[in-house]
Amino acid sequence: MSSRNMIERVVGNVRQENGFDDSAVRKRGIRRVTFDSSNHVSVLFQVYGSVWPHVLPYCLANVLITYGVAYLKKNGIDVTIASNGHTFMSVLVSFLIVARTQITYARFMEARGYLQDTYRSCRDLIHTCSLLTCHDMCDGAKQWRQDVAYRTILLLRITMAALEFQSRSVNAMDFVDGSNKYINTEEESRSESKKRLKDWTHGKRDLSDENFRAPIVLAYNLRSEIMKQRQGGFLDKKRKDTKTYMHVNEELKVLGMVSDYVAAFHGLKKLITTPFPFPLVQMARTFLFFWVFTIPFAIVGDISEPIEAMIINFFITYGFIGLEYVSMELDDPYGDDPNDFDNVGMAQVRTTGLFVFLLWLDFTSCFHWNQLCYHPLNILKMCLLCYHYTCLL
């Protein structure tokens, strides 16, 4: 057995023990759009990630209509119209298309800001938990830090899956086992309104509602994991002033970071569940297609040369319908499209950095730095753990 297969087998066993369901993971063969803005030739002729494949059929169809109108006019059948009406309508079409593009881009950047808040909250949460307990290097403290980090990354992965549900149709709850899906049954049994909770739990919901519920449940489980240190058995050293393992202000600080994460998730949910106003989309698209495909009847009357009219009409069609397709691309920035957010890739980058920090904190307390760097077994342990948590994404 090769070393790579051995590592993957060990990591696979650890992932199954921690409740990660590999059957829900799909291979992400996605290549995001990259371009060099200083290279004009590359920008002009790059097809991948461009709207050219979508817009080109409309451009060619409009060119054929222009040629047909010019051919009929040349043979004594004049179907051209005055261009005055088209001139006035072009102002309205331009306003609708540009306004839609601006609003869609603003929503796109707002979603990107909320995504950044989720990454930042996860990073700050693990950093803060590690720094507040770095004085405690017992096995229980190390296990608690790793459990908090694991549930944080599991929450991040579930959130990414919930955002991509409309595009990938993968249920976010399929990424975790039953122990992580629901609230602890002991805590639920303490509630005086247990029956009422169960009645509400089994209300009518579609798959989209279930996916958006998953990160909220995982956020609760993360909060429970953070507060588990109060039970004892994890942190070894109590504070002299409060006689507790963590000061209440420290706990509130850490829990506040989870609240920041949930607030960012609700911002993402707001943008997904509040689509672009349909009446505005319908008006813009109606005016757009009517105006674009009647341009040949107006432009042939003003331009006598058919070739010149066809070239101008080609680029007019590309400009206006291309902007509409840009808005359509930005409407749903989560998924497999080239222009979508690489949210899972960005999460992997944060995860790798977090666990390098966590492993450095816990492993350097057990070994001298030279022993840690040069001992093959220690290096293998660090690589296995880092690879394990990165593979969660």
Summarised one tens digit per residue, pLDDT across range 289-309 is: 999 999 999 999 888 889 999
CB of 111 within 8 A of CB of 275?
Answer: no
> Sorting pLDDT into bands at 50, 70 and 90, what band is 116?
very high
Listed residue (126, 348, 350) closest to 226, CA to CA: 126
Which one is predicted more confidently, 132 or 184? 132
DSSP 275: P
Residue 237 above 90 pLDDT?
no
**Mean pLDDT to the nearest integer, 323-344:** 87
Residue 257 above 90 pLDDT?
yes
Using the CB atoms, write b or e for 175-184: b if 16+ within 10 Å: bbeeebbeee
> Sorting pLDDT into bands at 50, 70 and 90, what band is 343?
confident
- What confidence score (pLDDT) does residue 322 get? 95
Q: What is the pLDDT of residues 345-383, one digit of tens each?
A: 787 777 776 766 666 666 554 444 344 444 444 444 555
Residue 189 makes CB contacts below 8 A (sequence gap 6+) with: none
- What confidence score (pLDDT) does residue 1 get? 44
> Sorting pLDDT into bands at 50, 70 and 90, what band is 187?
very low
- Position 126: which residue type? I
Round the average pLDDT of the chain to a whole number and report it: 78
> Sorting pLDDT into bands at 50, 70 and 90, what band is 318?
very high
- What confidence score (pLDDT) does residue 223 get? 94
CB of 69 within 8 A of CB of 300?
Answer: yes
- What confidence score (pLDDT) does residue 299 get? 92
Q: What angle do CA 100, 106, 111 make, to 5 degrees?
A: 125
Radius of gyration over every alpha carbon of the chain, rounded to an integer in angstroms: 29
Q: What angle do CA 67, 69, 71 make, to 5 degrees?
A: 65
Q: Which of 148-152, 183-187, 249-253, 316-320 has the highest mean pLDDT?
A: 316-320
Residue 43 above 80 pLDDT?
yes
Rounded Cα gap, residues 236 and 243, in angstroms:
12
Residue 128 makes CB contacts below 8 A (sequence gap 6+) with: 253, 254, 257
Residue 207 above 90 pLDDT?
no
Domain residue spans of the chain: 50-391
Listed residue (226, 205, 223, 227) closest to 215, CA to CA: 223
Residue 42 makes CB contacts below 8 A (sequence gap 6+) with: 35, 36
Rounded Cα gap, residues 149 and 122, in angstroms:
9
Residue 20's DSSP bridge partners are 176
- What confidence score (pLDDT) does residue 338 get? 86
Residue 387 above 60 pLDDT?
no
**Mean pLDDT to the nearest integer, 79-95:** 89
Residue 176's DSSP bridge partners are 20
Rounded Cα gap, residues 46 and 24, in angstroms:
34
Rounded Cα gap, residues 191 and 205, in angstroms:
23
> Sorting pLDDT into bands at 50, 70 and 90, what band is 136?
confident
CB of 333 within 8 A of CB of 341?
Answer: yes
**Mean pLDDT to the nearest integer, 107-133:** 91
